[in-house]
Structure 1
Amino acid sequence: MKILVIQQKMIGDVLVSSLICENLKLNYPNAEIHYLVNRFTIPVIENNPYINKVVVFEDEYRSSKFAFYKFLKNIRRAKYNIVIDAYGKLESNLISLFSGAKTKVSWKKKYTKFIYSHTIDISKTPQTRSGLAIDNRLKLLSPLNLKSVLRSKPKIYLSESEIERAKSKLEKFNLDLSRPLYMISVLGSDILKTYPSEFMVQILDHIVDYSNAQLIFNYIPYQKQEVLKIYNLCQDKTKENIYLGISGDSIREFISITSHCDALIGNEGGAVNMAKAIDIPTFTIFSPWIDKETWSSFEDGKKNVSIHLDEIIPSYFEVKRYKDLKPKSLELYKKLEPKFVIHKLNSFIDHIND
């Protein structure tokens, strides 16, 4: 039996949907599990023992109809028995349709229901501590009537050599590994998912004062100038404890470096999901327009903690849809003052340093 799981989009989505692959393999150990993802997300599923083959959706398939058609023909030739479409957009609709699989499962939408043999309603309220992102994706398995469905954390599988190379890199910077070491997601993927710089500076100064920690910044190369602005606004003591020269040259190296950290702290995004997938404690600052119920997975108030503006002014969110708040994000961020973040952050730091 051959099964195709489709999850294009971002790193967090690909990690979460890898749980579909894991559950399929555990229930059908002799099946071939193929996972269709975008190329840049492959590092988070390397070495995953529950995936037999990664099928790459290249960028050119969006710009070239001919290239996309050739790709669809290859999907058809693969003769999949089951397709689980966790993406549910036009590209994956067409892939599912062309697959010819007898069993095809995806989200319930009026305009695509003719493509799939089974369609699933998206839940709006989390049923478990796993969070909505995981709860909903595992619902896609319900038509298969599996004997058991595990709700474990998504996992990233690092090799011993990757972990050792990262440790050697840290040692070259003369880090004191007896002191706390925190990876900081200092910026979000865009400005609407980024805690205001002037507030982040206060958080960084507080972290160093409160815990005597050493800090490594996680950021995308094109964000370097913004990162330097934040660094330059920090107190001198904080600057002395920020190691700007340490950066992962690849996603795998970033993950390996993070594996040696005591926690990841900062803006919500893929880095948080990667840290959780290697069992590193996380403290997440959510953008006001992001629904925390979806992505605050496995939070326990101790090892995995987050803060959202809805904790400060819950009445505002009772009458608003999160996505409607996106244009107001920069304004709303101002209401999530550092004092609120620091109050919750202190408890998190105290717990992980016990």
Structure 2
Amino acid sequence: MADPTSCRIDGLERLNPKRILCCQLRQIGDVLLLTPSIHMLKKHWPNAQIDVFTEKKCAPVLENNPEVNHVWALDRKMSVLESLRYYRTVGTGGGLGRYDLVIDFQQLPRIRWVMLFSDAPVKLSYPPPWYNQLVYTHWAKVSGPYAAKSKAGVLMNAFGLPWENDPPRIYLTDAEKDHARTELAAWGLAPGQTLVTVDATHRRITRLWPAEHYAALLTMAGKQRPDLRFLLLYGPGELEVAEQVRDKALAAGLDPAQLILPPRLTTLREMAAIQSQAALHLGNCSSPRHFAVAVGTKTLTVRGSTSSAWTYPGPGHEDLALGLPCQPCSENTCPLDRKCLTGLKPEVVLPKMLEMLAE
């Protein structure tokens, strides 16, 4: 039996693909972190057409990306039979000829169906468990520690492509940026004021810095910097958390004029356009931090159970953690009542936040 941790890359040096399929179904942040790998492929094979297989909710991340030819957007509401037909269509190239190279960056069952239907001569992934090795023709080790580099490691080790620390990419139009500026002005942002986007939400409790900590931090920062305006981001089902932060901050004495709670849910691309107008993004370890990197906005992340591997290794991007012996655990539950988060006090985060805003 082959060692699943070893590389199996013989013969790839002769590959010159005309059509490439990259498979990364979810999550939204992970699809954004796939874009450096897409850029590496396009740089190495500029004439190749690159398609992406992802979930419908993630497709806006790749909109207007000049390096992506087509996005196969999976609707998870399809029936089993409809899904199988769709996997076959994707795997066989949608009637435009077979793919020369299919890369599985995630190894989920839905992607394996695409792999099984595909007749691509090269089906590449990171080392699979022994019971899935027949799905792939080649595999290569990942790299790290940065999460986008880890994905790209398959390309680095299979094809010898260099890692150049490319940030994630999202391609906003001028119209999207203009719309963001118009919306921000309507919500109260005036010229000369400094915007900070704040993501106080997360579906995992072990990544969720307490609302009262966010409220205290914004209040302290707002009193020291009256020019600051804090915009509370929220996604579907997250408005209540944003409202908690708002209410607690106002109760602590933050000037109401310094707080912006969008009156409606923004789309992913609208959120990115808003972040492009900000001086700093503050938040938990979740996808908005990657969007901020993609639009060139500085980021400050409070970490709980996750590692610093999700922090872009470039200037202007920092994370803070309490540094308990159990960190990072990468767990979704905590027997210690989330001491890594509750114990990380706003007074510790404030100096770094003000420092990054002053730079």
Q: TM-score range by the shorter chain?
A: 0.7 to 0.9
* Structure 2 CA distance for aligned equivalents of residues 352 and 199 of structure 1: 19
Shift of 1:101: 1.1
Give 1:71's aligned residue: 86
Give 1:163's aligned residue: 177
**Structure 1-normalised TM-score?**
0.87
* Structure 2 CA distance for aligned equivalents of residues 237 and 204 of structure 1: 7
CA contact (8 A) 1:189 1:269 kept: no
- Seen in structure 2, the aligned counterparts of structure 1 residues 255 and 330 have a Cα distance that, compared at 3 Å, is farther
| 1:84 has 2:103 as partner | yes
Shift of 1:244: 1.7
- Seen in structure 2, the aligned counterparts of structure 1 residues 225 and 293 have a Cα distance that, compared at 3 Å, is closer
* Structure 1 CA distance for aligned equivalents of residues 338 and 155 of structure 2: 40
Give 2:345's aligned residue: 337
| 1:188 has 2:202 as partner | yes
Give 2:224's aligned residue: 210
| 1:107 has 2:126 as partner | yes
Give the SS at the match of 1:19.
helix
Shift of 1:246: 5.4
* Structure 2 CA distance for aligned equivalents of residues 304 and 57 of structure 1: 33
Q: Deviations over 1:184-236 (max 9, x none)?
A: 11222343321112222211112212222111110124222332222122233
- Seen in structure 2, the aligned counterparts of structure 1 residues 187 and 218 have a Cα distance that, compared at 3 Å, is same
Q: Deviations over 1:146-205 (max 9, x none)?
A: 565543101111111111111111222342231211111122234332111222221111
CA contact (8 A) 1:265 1:283 kept: yes
- Seen in structure 2, the aligned counterparts of structure 1 residues 59 and 325 have a Cα distance that, compared at 3 Å, is closer
Give 1:323's aligned residue: 330
User: Which AA in structure 1 matches 2:175?
Assistant: S
Q: State how many pairs are aligned.
A: 333
CA contact (8 A) 1:44 1:274 kept: no
* Structure 2 CA distance for aligned equivalents of residues 75 and 351 of structure 1: 45
Give 1:293's aligned residue: 308
Give the SS at the match of 1:323.
coil
* Structure 1 CA distance for aligned equivalents of residues 71 and 89 of structure 2: 14
Give 2:67's aligned residue: 50
- Structure 1: where are the runs of 5+ without partners? none
CA contact (8 A) 1:6 1:36 kept: yes
Two-structure CA RMSD over aligned residues (Å): 2.1
1:94-243 superposed matches below 5 A: 94-108=113-127, 109-123=129-143, 126=145, 131=146, 133-142=147-156, 144-145=158-159, 148-212=162-226, 213-234=228-249, 235-243=252-260
Shift of 1:53: 0.6
Give 1:255's aligned residue: 272
CA contact (8 A) 1:284 1:307 kept: yes
Could you tell which deviates more after superposition, 139-148 or 182-191? 139-148
* Structure 2 CA distance for aligned equivalents of residues 53 and 27 of structure 1: 19
- Structure 2: where are the runs of 5+ without partners? 1-17
Shift of 1:326: 3.0
Shift of 1:237: 3.0
Shift of 1:104: 1.1
Give 1:304's aligned residue: 317
* Structure 2 CA distance for aligned equivalents of residues 324 and 243 of structure 1: 32
User: Alignment identity in percent?
Assistant: 21
Give 2:352's aligned residue: 347
Give the SS at the match of 1:36.
strand
Q: By percentage of residues, which structure has more helix?
A: 1
User: Which AA in structure 2 matches 1:340?
Assistant: V
Give the SS at the match of 2:172.
coil
* Structure 2 CA distance for aligned equivalents of residues 150 and 271 of structure 1: 23
1:1-80 superposed matches below 5 A: 1-61=18-78, 64-78=79-93, 79-80=98-99
Give the SS at the match of 2:57.
helix
- Seen in structure 2, the aligned counterparts of structure 1 residues 187 and 246 have a Cα distance that, compared at 3 Å, is same
CA contact (8 A) 1:192 1:330 kept: no
**Structure 2-normalised TM-score?**
0.86
CA contact (8 A) 1:217 1:247 kept: no
* Structure 1 CA distance for aligned equivalents of residues 224 and 314 of structure 2: 23
* Structure 2 CA distance for aligned equivalents of residues 8 and 39 of structure 1: 9
